[in-house]
Structures are given as structure tokens and as C-alpha cells.
Amino acid sequence: MAPIRLTTVAAAMVVLLTGVLVYQTWTQHQRQALLEAAHATSLTPPLEPMRVFHLGHSLVGRDMPAMLEQLAGPGHTHASQLGWGTSLREHWYPDQPVNGFEQENDHDHFRPARDAVGSGEYDAVILTEMVELRDAIRYHDSPTYKHIWADLARAASPDTRVYLYETWHRLDDPDGWLDRLDQDFDALWRGELLAGDITASGTERATRIIPAGQVMAEFVRAIESQGGVGNIGDRTALFARDANGEQDMIHLSDPGKYLVALTHYAVLYKRSPLGLPAQLSRADGLPADAPSPEAARLMQEIVWRVVRRLPETGVGS
């Protein structure tokens, strides 16, 4: 009798596992269909300078929004709430401490996030999740809180557009910096954060993405295949160094911030960044270290190519 019972149990387990696999496959197909439906239509370019709110951490910082403001020209304004490595969940609760809150928000562009996003006063709300993204999803319920913030913005104004800023991981990530950028975009940024919001709220007014990580990956592959372009020799030139010349593995140099600001500009305004100035100022008014003309031109070309290729940006081809 024992062999018969074991055979029966084994057969039941096979049936159960088959059912789980079928369900997972169906769920993946359903999510893919929702994503395609949500991003099938491009967004219309804004007719006026934009008012933008940035929510996030040091990968937003002060300089990149200031550079974006210069690229966009007179009338573009921004506000922000930042922290050190802060998740969207941590930002949601104003009575809970946020690491680096006082330091990161000690400037004229600070505005409390719940008040800002719920005001309906912004043309675009840009949400930035913490790094490491796997931990944000596993321990900080990232899809849920991304959806909560997006819903707050959408409820406050019928005209506010919500964007998710795709960032990157450490240069020394054990799984490979470029490999993570390649893998995470579909699996995590689209498959978890964008899909989770669409599943909860439907395809109308779906969150769009600012694909800074995808732009960086394509730019790095282009310059490294040529042995460098202008004053950008390899990927490390996009990242900061401290006073002793030690490489920062996550925070950007001025040229890196410029590349990310170009990506924000192209997605928000639905305009080509070709021909925009390369010499900008930091948030403190001092001149930023600019990419050389040939490097800046390549940055602008790649930004425009990537944002038009990805339907999730809303730019369109």
C-alpha cells in the first residue's frame, strides 16, 4: 500500500506544480497585456514650461533638477523632498524619521512631499525608489507605495502626469552593473513597479518611466566600444570621485548628472535634446564640469534614441 500512496502523492504534487506554473504564466501574460495597453498611446508634448516635483534621494540630488531647469528654459520650476537612500514607503509617513532629511532638504526648493503631491499644483510628479531595488520590493513593499503616491497625484489633479525615475545600482554590483540594468528593466521596473500600479488602478493615466538606467547602459556601451569619446573615457567618468580621487560607486559626476538631466528633459517635454547646451551650472550657481562637445552630442543622440524606442516613456517614435 505504501508505494501506491507515494505514487498518489507524487501525482498530486505534479498536478499542483503544473497548476502553479500555468497560473504564473497566465499572470505574466496578463501583466504584459496591461503594460502594452497602458503605454500604447504617446503623451502630448506640454505647451508651457512645466512645474515638476521630485521625490527621492541623493540620485535625484540638487544639481540634476537644477540642470533640468536650465535645459528647459525660463518658466520651468521644481520642488523636491529628498533623503539618504530613502524608500517611497519611508517618504509616505511624515512622522517617521528620514535619514539625511535635514541635510538634503536645506534649500529653497524643498516642499513636504505629501503636501506637494496632494496639491495638484504640479504638471509632473517624479517618483524615485531606493537602491537596492530588490530590497525595496522585498522589504519596503515598493509596488504598493509607488501606487499610493501615484494615486495621490492623480486624485489631486486630472492633468498631473506621474513618472518613475529608473535609476541604477553600484558600479561594483556582484551581478554586474550592465547586466543588472539589462535584467532589471523588464523584471523589476516594468514587471513589478509599473505593472503593479496598472493592475491596481487600470491603464488610464498610467505611470510613465524616465529610463536613466537604460540611457546610461547604451551610452556606456557606445563609448567603451570606441575606447572613449571626448573627455568621457569609460563608465567611471559618469560617477563622482571624492577629494582624494576615490571612486564613488553610486553617485554621479557632473557629466553623469547632465546625461540624466537630458533624459528627464526628453521624456517630460517630448522634445529632442539635440543642440542643447553642454555647459550648465550646479545648484549652487558654480559652473558644472561639462562633457566635451563630441561626448555631449553622443549623449543627446542616445537619449533621444532610447526614449523614443521605449513605449513606457510616453514619447513615441
Q: Which of 23-27, 90-94, 126-130, 306-310 has the lowest mean pLDDT?
A: 23-27
Question: Is 170 a member of any domain?
Answer: yes
The predicted pLDDT at position 5 comes to: 58
Is 199 or 222 the better-scoring residue by pLDDT?
A: 222
Question: Is 45 a member of any domain?
Answer: no
Q: How confident is the model at residue 13 (pLDDT cuts 50, 70, 90)?
A: low
Q: Quick one: 98 and 206 in the same domain?
A: yes
Q: At a CB cut-off of 8 Å and minimum separation 6, what does 11 contact?
A: none
Above 50 in pLDDT, residue 23?
A: no
Question: Is 4 a member of any domain?
Answer: yes
Above 50 in pLDDT, residue 22?
A: no
Cα(109)–Cα(166) distance, rounded to whole angstroms? Answer: 22
Q: Can you say how many angstroms the Cα of residue 294 is from the centroid of all Cα atoms in its chain? A: 26
Q: Quick one: 14 and 60 in the same domain?
A: no
Question: Is 109 a member of any domain?
Answer: yes
Q: How confident is the model at residue 25 (pLDDT cuts 50, 70, 90)?
A: very low
Q: Quick one: 6 and 67 in the same domain?
A: no
Give the mean model confidence (pLDDT) for residues 21-46: 77
Rounded percentage of the chain residues whose pLDDT exceeds 90: 83
Q: Quick one: 18 and 112 in the same domain?
A: no
Q: Quick one: 68 and 32 in the same domain?
A: no
**126-157 pLDDT per residue, tens:** 999 999 999 999 999 999 999 999 999 999 99
**83-102 pLDDT per residue, tens:** 999 999 999 999 889 999 99
Q: Quick one: 216 and 263 in the same domain?
A: yes
Largest Cα separation within the chain, whole Å, is: 83
According to DSSP, the residues that pair with 162 across neighbouring strands are 125
Q: Quick one: 125 and 227 in the same domain?
A: yes
Q: Which of 74-88, 187-201, 276-290 has the lowest mean pLDDT?
A: 187-201
Closest Cα partner for 184 from 192, 174, 172, 195? Answer: 192
Q: Which of 33-37, 61-65, 86-90, 207-211 has the lowest mean pLDDT?
A: 33-37
Is residue 189 within 8 Å of residue 164, measured between CB atoms? yes
Question: Is 300 a member of any domain?
Answer: yes
Does pTM top 0.75 for this prediction?
Answer: yes
Above 70 in pLDDT, residue 9?
A: no
Q: Quick one: 287 and 139 in the same domain?
A: yes
Question: Is 239 a member of any domain?
Answer: yes
Is residue 130 within 8 Å of residue 136, measured between CB atoms? yes
SS3 helix, strand, coil % of the chain, rounded to 5? 50, 10, 35
Give the mean model confidence (pLDDT) for residues 168-189: 98
Q: Quick one: 181 and 214 in the same domain?
A: yes
Rounded percentage of the chain residues whose pLDDT exceeds 70: 91
Amino acid at 70: Q
Cα(116)–Cα(110) distance, rounded to whole angstroms? Answer: 10
Three cell numbers, residue 137: 520590493
Q: Quick one: 71 and 17 in the same domain?
A: no
Q: How confident is the model at residue 7 (pLDDT cuts 50, 70, 90)?
A: low
Mean pLDDT score of the chain? 93
Question: Is 261 a member of any domain?
Answer: yes
Q: How confident is the model at residue 26 (pLDDT cuts 50, 70, 90)?
A: very low
Q: How confident is the model at residue 21 (pLDDT cuts 50, 70, 90)?
A: very low
Q: At a CB cut-off of 8 Å and minimum separation 6, what does 236 contact?
A: 171, 247
The predicted pLDDT at position 10 comes to: 59
Question: Is 2 a member of any domain?
Answer: yes
Closest Cα partner for 281 from 68, 51, 109? Answer: 68
Residue 209 domain boundaries? 51-313
CATH number at residue 303: 3.40.50.1110
Please tell me the total count of domains within the chain. 2
Q: Quick one: 138 and 218 in the same domain?
A: yes
Q: Quick one: 84 and 27 in the same domain?
A: no
Q: How confident is the model at residue 31 (pLDDT cuts 50, 70, 90)?
A: confident
